[in-house]
Structure 1
Amino acid sequence: MGTPPPPPPPPPQGGPGFAGFPQQQPTPSSQPGFGPPPGLPSSPGAPGGSAAPGGSAPNGGRGGGLRRNAMWAFVGAILASAVWTGTVVVVPGIVDGDPAVQSIRGYHAVDRICDAGKLTAFRGKYKMVDNYPLEHAGRSDSMDVMRCYALMKRTPEGSETTDYATLDIRVELHKAVDSAPEFAAVRQYFEQQKYEITDAPGLGEEAYFAYGDEPTSSDKTFHDINHYLQVRDGGMTYSLYWTDNYQTGKNHTLDRETVRKAMLDDTRDMLKAIGGP
């Protein structure tokens, strides 16, 4: 900031979990509790479906990433519930058995993770839309959660249109459960949905990219691009979700490797900011 969009990676709603709680994105002045949960792929939208900040539609009237926000609260809650049910069937150990609680090591919660981690790589390619990023943190005896949601824009050289992309980051410090089975289930979900999976080097105990590029349901020349970076290190789980869209033959998005490098660089900075190696 297709075919109906794929459901989100399996989030356990109302309790500890790797994905997110479905919440509707507010206006920039809203209180914490913003944005689509990480792991929810973009919803379909027709060209010219919604307006960009200031009343103009990004990407020449397509509405860009902003078109996705209207149905988060309704669709997100339904999909999250359905996918979680499927995950319990695939990996019953998530809810049964006696998981070994893992240490969160040196990781700790901060109030504003994107501010602490700087987002230097992405800020070097985009400007933040006014009042973004939105950030909050929650702490409890069983799990600490940090969240950052950013709406970004850029005008490519030689283009008269503005490209909008969204960045959604969620970090969880699991203190009461073993996060490994659920982390594995999320990866299995991506594999089942035919996302391209590749390892992400030098991050935590295990880390990978998941990538999807698919046409929207309304016009198959319009594509939604979804990049995920998932990391687990002991009881710490991290998810960075970046999404944009383009029209065939009129691609104004960043190329895939540029996005991946920015994801890796900013993720390393963020994990160090919360006590990682």
Structure 2
Amino acid sequence: MATSPPPPPAQGGPGFTGFPQQQPRPAGAPGFGPPPGLPSSPGLPPTSPGLPPTPSGPAGGPGGSGGAGGTGRKGGNLRRNAVWAFVGAILASVVWSGAVAVVPRMVQGHSSAQSIHGYHAIDKICEAGKLTAFRQKYKMVDNYPLEHTGRSDSMDIMRCYALMKRSVSGSDTPDYATLDIRVELHKAVDSSPEYAATRHYFEQQKFEIADVPNLGQEAYYAYGDEPTSSDKTFHDINYYLVVRDGGMTFSLYWTDNYQLGKDATLERDTVRRAMLDDTRDILKAIGGK
């Protein structure tokens, strides 16, 4: 009989290794739970228009434990079915729009554009960057990642969205996670006010923030862990790595969830280091040094 895994790290655990950490999120603080439209919101449609299609999963939809011996996710207890594939894309959009809504004065002044320091748009950033660190932990779900690039005189945008899974010891269902990467090359306006506004948004939402040295001109890591609205034992975890280098802005968003006392996701430091390693590879692939 498999033993239950240890509970996930406490909220006040260490931040990005060697970097300063803010105070942890207080219990019940607002943050990023499942957005309206997921099954936990009766009466609303389960999907949002314009988001990528989800693959088929095991019976009952993607679900399962994120740690050895976990049993809490079987039978869809955590609702980890195909609709979770939408979460990454939805939440990433929430962050950018939320930052502008919360601190509009920080993004109203458009000064001259900064150099993009040799960065250039490519068609498939995840293919070029390879996502080696995350692929060592997870297997990409069929037909993923989804990659899109848009080019214009004022800004080039590159986007990669991935649904991944890993086998879990003691469970017959895999652990699923989403990865959402966005790169913008600002050629007409200064990107620094938007970068500052986004960071300020995370601070207002009580995310843990840690500066990341030696990555672009400035970079930070943001982490949030909170109960879902339906059951306090179920938690959503959200990781962001945001970088600015002149007119280039980059964000990597990774999300997963777990049940207290029954499931465990990858350790925080493991996720952070995978984020950092894959970010460096992607930035190098689009012309970074």
TM-score past 0.5 threshold:
yes
Matched residue, 2:52: 26
Cα distance in 2 between the residues matched to 1:248 and 1:198: 25
Cα distance in 2 between the residues matched to 1:160 and 1:68: 19
Matched residue, 1:64: 80
- 1:266 matched to 2:278? The reply is yes
Matched residue, 1:171: 183
Could you state the TM-score of these two structures normalised by the residue count of structure 2?
A: 0.74
> Per the alignment, in what secondary structure is the counterpart of residue 230 of structure 1?
strand
Structure 1, unaligned stretches of length 5 or more?
A: 9-21, 30-51
Cα distance in 2 between the residues matched to 1:119 and 1:71: 20
> Per the alignment, in what secondary structure is the counterpart of residue 64 of structure 1?
coil
Matched positions, count: 237
> Per the alignment, in what secondary structure is the counterpart of residue 237 of structure 1?
strand
Matched residue, 2:101: 85
Deviations 1:149-207 (A, max 9, x none): 00000122233331100000000000000000110111111111110001123210000
Matched residue, 1:182: 194
Cα distance in 1 between the residues matched to 2:90 and 2:186: 28
> What percentage of residue pairs aligned between the two structures are identical?
62
**Contact 2:89–2:161 at 8 Å: present in 1 too?**
no
Could you state the TM-score of these two structures normalised by the residue count of structure 1?
A: 0.77
Distance 1:269 1:65, change over 3 A: farther
Deviations 1:111-131 (A, max 9, x none): 000000000000011011110
The structure with the larger Rg is 2
Structure 2, unaligned stretches of length 5 or more?
A: 1-26, 34-47, 65-73
Amino acid at match of 1:25: L
1:213 to 210, 225, 249: 225
Q: CA RMSD in A?
A: 2.9
**Contact 1:126–1:153 at 8 Å: present in 2 too?**
yes
Matches within 5 A, 1:208-247: 208-247=220-259
Task: From the two aligned structures, give the one with the greater helix fraction.
Answer: 1
Cα distance in 1 between the residues matched to 2:170 and 2:148: 37
Bigger RCO (CA 8 Å, 6+ sep): 2
